[in-house]
Amino acid sequence: MNITKDIIYIGVNDHDVDLFEGQYIVPDGMAYNSYLVKGEKTAVMDTVDKHFRDQWLENLDKALEGAEPDYLIVQHMEPDHSANIAVFMEKYPKAVVCASKQAFNMMKNFFGTDFAERNMTVGEGSVLDLGGHVLRFVAAPMVHWPEVVMTYDETEKVFFSADAFGKFGALDAPPDPEGWACEARRYYIGIVGKFGPQVQNLLKKAAGLDISVICPLHGPVLTEDLGYYIGLYDTWSSYRSEDKGVTIAYTSVYGNTKQAAELLAERLEARGVEAHVSDLARDDMAEVVEDAFRYDRIVLATTTYAGDIFPFMKTFIDHLTERNFQNRTVAFIENGSWAPVAAKKMRTMLECCKDLTFAETTVTVTSALNEKSRAAIEALAEELASL
Ligand code: FEO
């Protein structure tokens, strides 16, 4: 598949992976993208996951049409892209591997060698002239690993963006009815979310480039309306909410906290406020983390459990804080049959977050909903709807 006249797609689709990166469900599979750039010399952009070695080598072989690859450019050392470096270097003994200094240190760790006789260190502003194609490297540390370099093809105005602008889903999966943003957002918040300032730095650099095509390492090649994708990355990486709405994330042991969460959603919707209710024990937690960053308000509802909070809620709040959750309004619903402390504990866990506004109303349920707690839910709905 030709991306441009001289750039050929040689990636693979994975429908077998159970959990991507060991934690994310991918119902539509995953794509590991790789590309061949053909100038007078040829450059391969990254490899693929180890399970697809043979298919990738076959794709590469076809795209080369009898030529030998001159360079392997390694933008990112996470194994979903780097697993086949050693195999490639053995198969093509004249090829040179180009990567950052840190990537070569990682190669020693992964493969026991940094291919010292055949390596070229590149970094911010380095240029590789293929003859007819000039590649310029852009350092992108911590998007989302430290060794990452991205690559701008000055000749065809193509930006190879490593993991940035990637999404979950194989390229041969049916089109997502919710569009690119849905699974791109879950991917971004989950995998890159912590590194907003570093993504902002990257966007500043990208703004100085004339880009016609974005070639990420996952998901579709982006060819049109690039401002839309870049705009979303700007929103996500600056921790601004993308949409107005309330995420209600709950855990419930016997259904009473669930009832409280659902009643709140109903009372919000009665006021015309969009509410998204999720069960942290049963729903995909990555999806709820995505919602927490997408919407401007969040309600955390959980039981007091062993003098603390229910484990799934603890894990959820850890997911938020480790991704620098900030700049949102937060409210609490706690349940406790004899000594409710969940709201206080949740608030303590969030104290490290910047720019959170806590709702004045906290709902306390003492075992099951009653007149008092229903009134508190009504008051919380009113308060959240007024924001
Ligand atoms: Fe797609 Fe960070 O690896």
Domain boundary among 237, 270, 303: 237
Taking the centre of ligand 1 as the mean of its atom positions, its distance from the CA of residue 145, in whole angstroms, is 8
**214 and 247 both lie in a single domain:** no
DSSP conformation letters of 230-279: HHHHHHHHTT--SEEEEEEEE--SSSHHHHHHHHHHHHHHHTT--EEEEE
Verify whether ligand 1 is closer than 6 Å to residue 291 (CB atom): no
Q: Which two tokens stand for residue 152?
A: 């701008």
Whole-number pLDDT of residue 263: 98
Verify whether ligand 1 is closer than 6 Å to residue 78 (CB atom): yes
CATH code, domain carrying 276: 3.40.50.360
**232 and 248 both lie in a single domain:** no
**48 and 159 both lie in a single domain:** yes
pLDDT tier, 175 (very low <50, low <70, confident <90, very high otherwise)? confident
**90 and 230 both lie in a single domain:** yes
77 located within any domain: yes
The mean pLDDT value for 94-103 works out to 98
Domain boundary among 237, 272, 292: 237
50, pLDDT greater than 90? yes
For the chain, the domain total comes to 2
Verify whether ligand 1 is closer than 6 Å to residue 328 (CB atom): no
Whole-number pLDDT of residue 19: 97
**32 and 162 both lie in a single domain:** yes
Cβ neighbour number for residue 188 with a 10 Å cutoff = 25
Verify whether ligand 1 is closer than 6 Å to residue 8 (CB atom): no
**208 and 356 both lie in a single domain:** no
**165 and 226 both lie in a single domain:** yes
Q: Is the pTM of this model over 0.75?
A: yes
306 Cβ partners below 8 Å, 6+ apart? Answer: none
Nearest CA to ligand 1 atom 2: 78
**300 and 171 both lie in a single domain:** no
387 located within any domain: no
CATH code, domain carrying 15: 3.60.15.10
**83 and 184 both lie in a single domain:** yes
**17 and 73 both lie in a single domain:** yes
Cβ neighbour number for residue 93 with a 10 Å cutoff = 9
pLDDT tier, 134 (very low <50, low <70, confident <90, very high otherwise)? very high
Taking the centre of ligand 1 as the mean of its atom positions, its distance from the CA of residue 342, in whole angstroms, is 36
1 located within any domain: no
176, pLDDT greater than 90? no
**110 and 16 both lie in a single domain:** yes
64 located within any domain: yes
Taking the centre of ligand 1 as the mean of its atom positions, its distance from the CA of residue 78, in whole angstroms, is 5
The mean pLDDT value for 320-331 works out to 98
Taking the centre of ligand 1 as the mean of its atom positions, its distance from the CA of residue 80, in whole angstroms, is 6
Q: Which two tokens stand for residue 245?
A: 């709405």
- 358 is in which domain, residue-wise? 243-382
Taking the centre of ligand 1 as the mean of its atom positions, its distance from the CA of residue 24, in whole angstroms, is 12
262, pLDDT greater than 90? yes
73, pLDDT greater than 90? yes
The mean pLDDT value for 215-224 works out to 98
Verify whether ligand 1 is closer than 6 Å to residue 218 (CB atom): yes
38 Cβ partners below 8 Å, 6+ apart? Answer: 6, 7, 8, 67, 130, 133
Whole-number pLDDT of residue 1: 85
